[in-house]
């Protein structure tokens, strides 16, 4: 345990244990005025792809007042596997802000990760944590990841719009005439890996390693995130797949939207999958469909299906080694990001 003094406060920093999950959930409620299921938090913190997540906790007099969490991941750099970690939940109790906890917890977690032979860390910071990462802890803002939005029933955001107006919008519902057999089913692990192996990436590219082990953990049904799988087949052979989930605005369950987490296949397959997801959104009376990605090969398909590029999320990176990495992690065009790389998607 590390003691850390700030003004009149005395903080103790230590690694998270599995039994700390309730205290972390309480801190999350205090910081974000929101709540998650215990199943999701176990998936995030105690049941990651590599087991218990590395998390630095800050306590004052035995009360949890800060947490800096990382997700262990595996990244392919120039097709070579590199141990990495993604910044996850970083929280400081509002009553303890401005006292250096954020920076001190970050320094401690870096030492922990180096001891675990992690060589690359990356993240998608929200505005409050962006400055601390980039200006105080030497992360580099590499690029921005666009958010693409396809409006379906946008007027459902407003309670005063009559139902017949929403129904009228169904006239622009896309048709499903792709020639592919698209079903709601999760492909077998070997088929997923085959699709991923057929996806071409340039030399020197960097991306999260998506193999059977990763898919099994990332979309584990026990996390209760209600992901839906779509398989696109032709003559019984898998040609591509998608993963998405339906969410609602907090406290307003009738205002729903779709988040696409995975979208893989050639252009014809991607077009077909997007059409079916948008059709699903029409049938479910969702306001919109969204996806976050900088994949160049998806841009054309998204535009064809009337997705608009709205907003963006910063992508930051930091090496934890002095070794030469297989690819330049600071080159914006080297990184290939899909929605599933975001913890909330």
Residues paired with 256 in a beta bridge: 248
pLDDT above 60 for 281: yes
**Number of residues written out for the chain:** 345
Q: Give, as one character, the DSSP assignment of residue 270.
A: H
**Domains defined along the chain, listed by start:** 2-118 (3.40.630.30), 145-313+332-341 (3.40.630.30)
Closest CA to 293 of 269, 273, 315: 315
The pLDDT score that the predictor gives to residue 139 is 97
315 phi-psi bin (left φ>0, alpha ψ -120 to 50, beta other): beta
Cα(67)–Cα(59) distance, integer angstroms: 9
Query: How do residues 157-194 score in pLDDT, each as one tens digit?
Result: 555 445 544 455 554 566 666 689 999 999 999 999 99
Query: How do residues 117-162 score in pLDDT, each as one tens digit?
Result: 999 999 999 998 999 999 999 999 999 999 999 999 876 655 544 5
> How many angstroms separate the Cα of 209 from the Cα of each of 75, 148, 206, 332?
5, 23, 9, 18
Closest CA to 157 of 250, 246, 255: 255
pTM of the model: 0.90
Structure tokens at 211: 């193999």
pLDDT above 80 for 4: no
Count of other CB atoms within 10 angstroms of residue 310 = 12
Q: 52, 46 in Cβ contact below 8 A?
A: yes
Q: Give, as one character, the DSSP assignment of residue 324.
A: P
- For tokens 């998270």, the residue is 16
Cα(264)–Cα(253) distance, integer angstroms: 30
Closest CA to 337 of 147, 56, 115: 147
Q: Give, as one character, the DSSP assignment of residue 340.
A: G
Cα(55)–Cα(43) distance, integer angstroms: 14
Q: 216, 344 in Cβ contact below 8 A?
A: no
């Amino acid at each position: 345990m590390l003691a850390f003094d700030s003004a009149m406060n005395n903080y103790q920093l230590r690694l998270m244990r599995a039994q700390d999950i309730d205290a972390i959930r309480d801190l999350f409620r205090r910081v974000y005025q929101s709540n998650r299921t215990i199943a999701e938090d176990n998936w995030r913190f105690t049941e990651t792809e590599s087991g218990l997540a590395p998390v630095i906790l800050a306590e004052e007099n035995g009360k949890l007042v800060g947490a800096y969490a990382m997700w262990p991941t595996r990244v392919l750099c120039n097709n070579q596997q590199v141990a990495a970690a993604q910044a996850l939940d970083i929280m400081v109790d509002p009553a303890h802000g401005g006292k250096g906890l954020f920076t001190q917890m970050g320094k401690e977690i870096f030492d922990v990760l180096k001891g675990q032979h992690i060589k690359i860390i990356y993240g998608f910071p929200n505005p409050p944590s962006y400055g601390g990462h980039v200006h105080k802890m030497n992360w580099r803002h590499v690029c921005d990841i666009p958010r693409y939005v396809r409006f379906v029933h946008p007027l459902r955001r407003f309670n005063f719009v009559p139902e017949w107006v929403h129904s009228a919008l169904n006239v622009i519902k896309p048709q499903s005439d792709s020639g592919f057999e698209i079903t709601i089913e999760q492909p077998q692990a070997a088929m997923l890996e085959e699709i991923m192996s057929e996806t071409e990436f340039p030399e020197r590219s960097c991306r999260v390693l998506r193999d059977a082990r990763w898919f099994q953990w990332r979309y584990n049904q026990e996390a209760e995130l209600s992901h839906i799988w779509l398989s696109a087949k032709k003559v019984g052979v898998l040609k591509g797949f998608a993963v998405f989930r339906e969410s609602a605005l907090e406290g307003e369950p009738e205002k729903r939207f779709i988040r696409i987490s995975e979208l893989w296949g050639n252009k014809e397959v991607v077009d077909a999958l997007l059409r079916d997801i948008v059709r699903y959104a029409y049938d479910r009376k969702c306001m919109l469909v969204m996806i976050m990605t900088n994949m160049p090969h998806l841009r054309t398909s998204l535009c064809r299906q009337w997705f608009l590029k709205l907003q963006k999320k910063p992508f930051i990176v930091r090496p934890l080694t002095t070794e030469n990495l297989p690819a330049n992690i600071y080159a914006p065009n080297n990184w290939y990001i899909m929605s599933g790389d975001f913890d909330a998607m």
